Structure 1
């Protein structure tokens, strides 16, 4: 976990006007808030936010981002595009070997992650896409707030869906991507780069 570098202007979070991160609280403090609201109580319990909740650890990374995944109903059966973000060799390869994405199809991006301890407020995914050094897209997607999952299970979520562009011009060249997972406290939980090309079909 780290704070953003000064040269990462493109990867700064873009907050909506009027958005104000909530006051930082412990798991126990969150658990005691609105304790008479049954629906809210059940939701907090599903995240392991209960009075007296503790964690087996209280140091090290609060969040571990395990995978970034691309899914599409047009993907061939059995094909999976998933990046293991805990494997340094995979991350090194991502920058050198572009992923092929089929043009003109709907696809979704999601992640698998684990909250190791504490409550993470406003976990978000930021992505900047450049082609030939020119920024062509920035995505800043809120994922949500989470506490450690009961039993230590991982969370899996899809946070945006869009359609890939199509045409001869967009198929030319490589798109370079910088991705970041951060939160309302401006802490960086994962930073990595990858690349993709648009093609007439999935590889």
Structure 2
């Protein structure tokens, strides 16, 4: 399959009539009308910190890890913090037990400027055939020294996007090897990180 087709499969959906807002610097966001209560709440939700990030690292979004949280077990963690780590997850499939419920969570850092409308996109294939596509809104965030972690389920009070609780497929025909491709993009459709990975669905965890 061509790379152009792969990119089309990972393209975020478009909302009719939606227009990307004008980009502003951190100082511009801070100086916006302080008498507007709803605006102040929105600015507070961005978590504007004071860290601009190191000069030798121009990345705005650093995805540290993506994890599957499974009740009663340690998290299945994908380290995405470096180029070497991204290559490692490509060549090292992990195992998911058929039929288990799991929830995705992502840990990331924002530096240099506010990032608006961060989304997670994922396409899963088996034997070259697409079997699933995921698109989740992560939200808008400001630079901060501390990493953010996004894990939102159906019972959470947070409404700015979520990773839903999912159930792994089960049965003899569901077991096998799956290839996936994922990326994080923002409102400008700028890709901050993209990688390939794989997993095996088995009857048990071993």
- TM-score range normalised by the length of the shorter chain: 0.7 to 0.9
Under a length normalisation based on structure 1, what TM-score does the superposition of the two structures give?
Answer: 0.83
Structure 1 position 136 matched with structure 2 position 131: yes
Relative to structure 1, the CA distance from residue 125 to residue 80 in structure 2 (aligned partners, 3 Å threshold; closer, same or farther) is same
Alignment of 1:64-143 (within 5 A): 64-75=62-73, 79-143=74-138
Q: CA deviation at 1:46?
A: 5.5
- Check whether the contact 2:183–2:194 (CA below 8 A) recurs between aligned residues: yes
Match for residue 155 of structure 2?
none
**Residue 176 (structure 1) aligned to one of 170, 179, 182:** 179
How many residues are treated as equivalent by the alignment? 191
SS at match of 2:116: strand
After TM superposition, the runs of 4+ consecutive aligned structure 1 residues lying more than 4 A away are 56-59
CA offsets, 1:25-51, max 9 Å, x none?
22222223342234642552464448x
Question: Residues of 2 paired with 1:178 and 1:187: CA distance?
Answer: 16
Structure 1 position 12 matched with structure 2 position 11: yes
Match for residue 35 of structure 1?
34
Match for residue 170 of structure 2?
166
Question: Residues of 2 paired with 1:94 and 1:56: CA distance?
Answer: 26
SS at match of 1:168: coil
- Check whether the contact 1:69–1:110 (CA below 8 A) recurs between aligned residues: yes
- Check whether the contact 2:47–2:141 (CA below 8 A) recurs between aligned residues: no
Match for residue 24 of structure 2?
25
SS at match of 2:174: helix
Relative to structure 1, the CA distance from residue 186 to residue 9 in structure 2 (aligned partners, 3 Å threshold; closer, same or farther) is same
* Structure 1 unpaired stretches of 5+: none
Under a length normalisation based on structure 2, what TM-score does the superposition of the two structures give?
Answer: 0.82
* Structure 2 unpaired stretches of 5+: 152-161
Question: Residues of 1 paired with 2:116 and 2:86: CA distance?
Answer: 26
Question: Residues of 2 paired with 1:142 and 1:198: CA distance?
Answer: 26
Question: Residues of 2 paired with 1:200 and 1:6: CA distance?
Answer: 35
Q: CA deviation at 1:167?
A: 1.0
Match for residue 52 of structure 2?
55
